[in-house]
Amino acid sequence: MKPYVICHMMSSVDGRTLTGNWGRVKGMGAYEETGSSFKANAWICGRTTMERDFASGKPLKLRSNGKALPKTDHLASLDARSFAIAVDKDGKLNWEKASIGGDHLVVVLNEGVSSAYLGHLRDKKISYIFGGKRELDLKLVLEKLWEGFFIRKLLLEGGGHLNGSFLKAGLIDELSVLHLPVADCNMGAPSIFEDSEGNKVPVSKLELLKVKKLENDVLWLRYKVR
Ligand SMILES: NC(=O)c1ccc[n+]([C@@H]2O[C@H](COP(=O)([O-])OP(=O)(O)OC[C@H]3O[C@@H](n4cnc5c(N)ncnc54)[C@H](OP(=O)(O)O)[C@@H]3O)[C@@H](O)[C@H]2O)c1
């Protein structure tokens, strides 16, 4: 079993998502508001998004005590009811706290990470799960989130590369996009879905579920992913 996955993003009218390029645009506040209307108890982001917006900017200094830690999933909090999930397979991010805005942090790793990095997460009381030996199996990751953390609805909140991986794996149930009244036009700014592998990707067909005009000229579109 897997959680119901809603990819929730805000984009320019040309589908770009680097909000930092836009300066002050009215209507950005609608992102949190519409996101919380889904009543999901978890959200997930890629390593780059977590690095830019949530992890510590300080360099990671790992201390090894020479002890090998098992490459098994680790649940650091039995009380947590809401979760922030970071896809950081190689264990690059430096975390200072076990939660983001009250949501317990869970890191998705591969089995190549060092015991010293696992020790870093354990010291901070951060949970972690393994999603594969080298590459991540996102279906397995979702099954573990369902089983181990009781996550039934998950907001997939970017960036474009993580969204693209979920889309290609056929794991997105719904797409929720806020179109802000801005045309970006910057080459290389990630769009809502990106492919890292550069192969030809089959298109995904969508079915429009709902259209709503919000304040400040924001358009909220919801699609079912077929
Ligand atoms: N407009 C919005 O609503 C919105 C929402 C979120 C983010 N953003 C913006 O988007 C930008 C980042 O987007 P992005 O597309 O460049 O990066 P991203 O998706 O946040 O992160 C990409 C990284 O996540 C890891 N990753 C993704 N898919 C993976 C998979 N299948 N298996 C293993 N690891 C995987 C990889 O990390 P490694 O390189 O470590 O392997 C990859 O390089 C940020 O500037 C952020 O502010 C905008």
Kindly report whether the global pTM for this prediction surpasses the value 0.85: yes
Confidence of residue 66 (pLDDT cuts 50, 70, 90): confident
The pLDDT of residue 119 is 96
Structural domains present in the chain: 1-41+152-226 (3.40.430.10), 49-136 (no CATH)
Q: How far is the CA of 34 from the centre of ligand 1 (A)?
A: 21
Q: How far is the CA of 67 from the centre of ligand 1 (A)?
A: 32
Residue located nearest, by CA, to atom 46 of ligand 1: 49
% pLDDT > 90, the chain: 90
Please work out whether the CB of residue 184 comes within 6 Å of at least one atom of ligand 1: no
What integer is the mean pLDDT of 74-80?
A: 95
What integer is the mean pLDDT of 63-71?
A: 87
Confidence of residue 170 (pLDDT cuts 50, 70, 90): very high
Q: Is the dihedral of CA 193, 56, 35, 39 positive or negative?
A: positive
Q: How far is the CA of 66 from the centre of ligand 1 (A)?
A: 32
Task: Give the pLDDT confidence of 136-150 residue by residue, as tens digits.
Answer: 999 999 999 999 999
Q: How far is the CA of 73 from the centre of ligand 1 (A)?
A: 23
